Amino acid sequence: MSYTNENALVDTVWVAAHLDDPKVRIVDASWHLPPTGRNGHDEYREAHIPGAVYFDIDAISDPDTTLPHMMPTAEAFAAAVGNLGIANNHRVIVYDSEGLFSAPRAWWMLRAFGHDNVAVMTGGFRVWKSEGRPVSDEPPTPSATEFNAQLNTDMVRSLAHMRANMDSGGELVLDARAANRFAGTEPEFRPGVRPGHIPGSGNLPYTEIVDAEAGAFVSSGDLRNAFDAHGATGTQPITTTCGSGITACILGLGLHLIGRDNWAVYDGSWTEWGGSEDAPIEAEG
């Protein structure tokens, strides 16, 4: 069974056939969790898909907060994306080094700022290389262009909104973190962030809807079953969350694929909630 919104994904074959398409822009949005010691930008400099520009999730963010990679203003986003040579009439293809990890964050950001013509390349750079496709260590020199951005606030959730939802229960909250982090049995790696989860939230680890080896989503039927099992049937608005707003976007993309678009991302995610001393938490033990 195909996905409802299958145009949100492309594969390596499609990208290889469109490397020289002037209407297409290829974007490397590789990002890694700090404990891994890996740096997506450094890896991009070593090798990337020819012509791909680097979308720095940490740099294209709000500079006026200590929280990691929070959404920037529309003006700042427009300037950063325009400097990458991306205009509103381009089809943007985003990939990351692993297949499906950080690329959905850039996909969501572009959509939140009004650019719907964006897709994620499944398989990622790992599969691209394994297939013997061309790679480059040459940074492209894109010509800056105009990019117009306007934030769709319905796609982003704040701490204040999440607090209000605690009382109203209007939105189902789904946490994409691993089960032990959600349960609070594993310490958080960011200083000052308590272990646990938002009271009343459900846990759907992103690894349950992604085939890690293929770097692709599970089938549309399996996606529906996974979300249905957590009550995310599409009848109630959904807010996705995670550690810092990265893998929450994987859940969001999964929902979009099966046509359930009444979702938003809690941008500050657990880093903000768990780091706020007066925010209630639930944890085992």
User: What is the rounded CA–CA span in Å between residue 210 and residue 229?
Assistant: 16
Phi-psi map region of 193: left, alpha, beta (phi>0 left; psi -120 to 50 alpha): beta
Q: Is 249 a catalytic residue?
A: no
Cα diameter, the chain = 56
Beta strand 216-217 with 210-211 is antiparallel
Which residues, at least 6 apart from 190, have a Cβ–Cβ distance to it below 8 Å?
A: 34, 243, 244, 271, 275
Tell me which residue of 192, 24, 170, 157 sits closest to 95, measured CA to CA: 24
Helix residue spans in 92-178 (DSSP H): 103-112, 124-130, 159-168
* 120 close to 103: Cβ distance less than 8 angstroms: yes
- The two counts, helices (H) then strands (E), for the chain are 10, 12
Q: What six digits make up the tokens of 84?
A: 């990458």
Residues 263, 152 contacting (CB under 8 angstroms)? no
Q: From the candidates 93, 156, 193, 242, which is the catalytic residue?
A: 242
Q: Around Cβ 132, how many Cβ atoms within 10 Å?
A: 7
Residues acting as catalytic residues: 242
